[in-house]
Amino acid sequence: MTIASLLFVLPLVWMVMSSFKTKREIFESPFSLPQTIDLSVWAEAWERGNLGVYVFNSVIVTVVAVGCILLFGLFAAYAFSRLKFRFSKWLLAPFLLGLLLPVQSYLTAQSRLFDSFYLLDTRWALIVPYVGLGLSLAVFLLKAYLDSLPHELFEAARIDGAGDFRMLFQIVMPLMKPGIATVATFSIISCWNEFLLAMLYIQDDELRTIPVGLLAFTGKYSTDYPMLFAALSIITIPMIGIYVIFHRQVISGMTEGAVH
């Protein structure tokens, strides 16, 4: 496990180290330590790359999309797990299909639909598909977590007069913090790093998100590698921090129900 961890950690460490080198040093001695640690390189990358605008757009899109994924996913998971109604299995099937189909398979139809509703070149052109892409995983993870909760807990709440909304917000949500944290972490990372839809649907530079904005550091014939590595370090470190903070909840949420 240590060796496997190093395979993922070392490229990140190399990226941060390279951000403090010149382009010549990166090519001549790629694995050597930087001679100086000058954070002004990161400040310059922030200003030259217009990262403030891209970060703002990414935060808006990610927060709204993840909030919708958690809200709608929790409602759907509760309905499929605790409510008995006709065709529930048939209604659950499209969510399974969402896990199997790649976004490229319906990209053309989705583009035409967004064009008809004048959503292209707006933040909604990213928020709507991000919610759709994240709901499938959210529903299945949260449903599995709900299925593992004891039925007696819900029966006792029902006897005490609690309705579905009260049980959902006062009983289920406090008990499902690991599951919610798991869905939130995966959804944040997915929305934050998504590139294809952000490149196709957003042409206004003032609305671009970070993955597309990083293309500013790459030219047709040359790439400013120190600036690119500095920008990548700026946007990668917060995502690593989010996972480090919630990793216990993520592991607990992923393994819940495995022994039931």
Q: Are 147 and 258 in contact (CB under 8 A)?
A: no
Distance of CA 149 to the CA centre of its chain: 26
Here the CATH number for the domain that contains residue 208 is 1.10.3720.10
225-255 vs 40-48: helix crossing angle, rounded to 10: 90
Domain membership flag for residue 31: no
Question: How far is Cα 26 from Cα 29, in angstroms, rounded to an integer?
Answer: 6
* Candidate ranges 41-50, 151-160, 187-196; pick with highest mean pLDDT: 187-196
Q: Is 208 helix (H, G, I), strand (E, B) or coil?
A: coil
Compute CA distances 224 → 52, 168, 255, whole Å: 19, 51, 43
CA atoms within 13 A on the CB side of 149: 25
Distance of CA 168 to the CA centre of its chain: 24
Domain membership flag for residue 62: yes
Domain membership flag for residue 6: no
Q: Tens of pLDDT along 157-182?
A: 888 888 888 888 888 888 888 888 88
Q: Is 149 helix (H, G, I), strand (E, B) or coil?
A: coil
Per-residue pLDDT averaged across 16-25, rounded?
Answer: 88
Question: How far is Cα 103 from Cα 105, in angstroms, rounded to an integer?
Answer: 5
pLDDT confidence tier of residue 213, bands split at 50, 70 and 90: confident
Question: How far is Cα 252 from Cα 232, in angstroms, rounded to an integer?
Answer: 30
Domain membership flag for residue 38: no
Domain membership flag for residue 34: no
Q: Which two tokens stand for residue 93?
A: 């099937």
Question: How far is Cα 181 from Cα 246, in angstroms, rounded to an integer?
Answer: 7
Question: How far is Cα 174 from Cα 192, in angstroms, rounded to an integer?
Answer: 26
CA atoms within 13 A on the CB side of 78: 20
Domain membership flag for residue 48: no
Return the residue matching tokens 């990548």: 232
Q: Which two tokens stand for residue 56?
A: 């703002």
DSSP state of 151: H
The number of beta carbons lying within 10 Å of the beta carbon of residue 144 is 18
Domain membership flag for residue 242: yes
Q: What pLDDT does residue 187 have? A: 92
Domain membership flag for residue 108: yes
* Candidate ranges 30-34, 128-132, 183-187; pick with highest mean pLDDT: 128-132
Q: Which two tokens stand for residue 94?
A: 């499209």
The number of beta carbons lying within 10 Å of the beta carbon of residue 228 is 20
Q: Is the dihedral of CA 71, 74, 79, 80 positive or negative?
A: positive
Q: Tens of pLDDT along 43-99?
A: 888 888 888 899 999 999 999 999 999 999 999 999 998 888 888 888 888 888 888
Domain that holds residue 79: 53-255
Q: What pLDDT does residue 260 have? A: 45
Q: What pLDDT does residue 45 have? A: 85
Q: What pLDDT does residue 179 have? A: 85
- Domain count within the chain: 1
Question: How far is Cα 113 from Cα 116, in angstroms, rounded to an integer?
Answer: 5
Per-residue pLDDT averaged across 4-13, rounded?
Answer: 88
> Residue 221: is its pLDDT beyond 80?
no
Mean of the per-residue pLDDT values of the chain: 85
